[in-house]
Amino acid sequence: MKILVTGFDPFGGDKINPAIEAVKRLPAEINGAEIIKLEIPTVFNKSAEVVKKAIEKEKPDYVLNVGQAGGRFGLTPERVAININDGRIPDNEGYQPLGEPIHEDGETAYFTQLPIKAEAKAIRDAGLPASVSNTAGTYVCNHIMYQVQYMRDKEFPNIKAGFIHIPFLPEQVVNRPNTPSMALGDIVKGLTAALSAIVERDGKGDIKSVEGANH
């Protein structure tokens, strides 16, 4: 089994992005699956082109995109990607869409094929906070999650794909009072646990457990 794991480059004034830093430090093999690592730009559309090329070249069974969610307390596997680009800030090439569909002919949303409840449980079992998230936002993180699902819908029907958001690193919150963070080593440990759960649940679907949100 082959899993393509991507991480974004820094954006929004930060000089480091824990996503690509953590992805770089993943082991080459997790639970028997080969891990292919890829850095992608925090840029609408271009990020998708980079992922698409890697899918064509590597032919992975799974794609996991990883992105920073500054302000979240734990690792959060994402349930759904929605068909909207609505930037709070411009992307790394200065483009800031304000409420446009990603693809006119795409679904309003796509659910991930990944076992998000099993991932969250595996991360917690590794001693780290985690919960299922029901929004990946409306910026480049949601964008890439949607784009990979759109590719799956139109071109690569055998791929299973999803997204995990991760917190800031401690060094990123030194001047951001009352903002949570997680050590890089722990993010790597949490992602490894999630990837291991993805392999373990292959062909079995997700576990059935309480991970819902009142709102």
Q: Where do contacts with a copy of itself occur on this chain (CB under 8 A)?
A: 12, 67-74, 79-80, 82, 84, 86-89, 96, 98-99, 107-111, 117, 124, 127-131, 133-139, 141-142, 165, 170-171, 173-183, 185-186, 206, 208-215
Closest distance between a copy of itself and the C-beta of residue 120, in Å? 10
Q: How far apart are CA 16 and CA 172, in angstroms?
A: 8
Q: Which of 111, 126, 41, 39 lies closest to 79 in space, CA to CA?
A: 111
Q: Of 49, 103, 119, 141, which one is the catalytic site residue?
A: 141
Which CB sits closer to a copy of itself, 1 or 10? Answer: 10
Q: Of 29, 49, 58, 78, which one is the catalytic site residue?
A: 78
Q: Does residue 165 have an active-site annotation?
A: yes
Q: Does residue 141 have an active-site annotation?
A: yes
DSSP secondary structure string, 120-189? HHHHHHTT--B--BS---SSHHHHHHHHHHHHHHHT-TT-EEEEEEEPPPGGGGTTSTT-----HHHHHH
Closest distance between a copy of itself and the C-beta of residue 77, in Å? 13
Closest distance between a copy of itself and the C-beta of residue 206, in Å? 7
Q: Is residue 84 within 8 Å of 99, Cβ to Cβ?
A: yes
Q: Does residue 143 have an active-site annotation?
A: no
Which CB sits closer to a copy of itself, 86 or 202? Answer: 86
Residues with catalytic function: 78, 141, 165
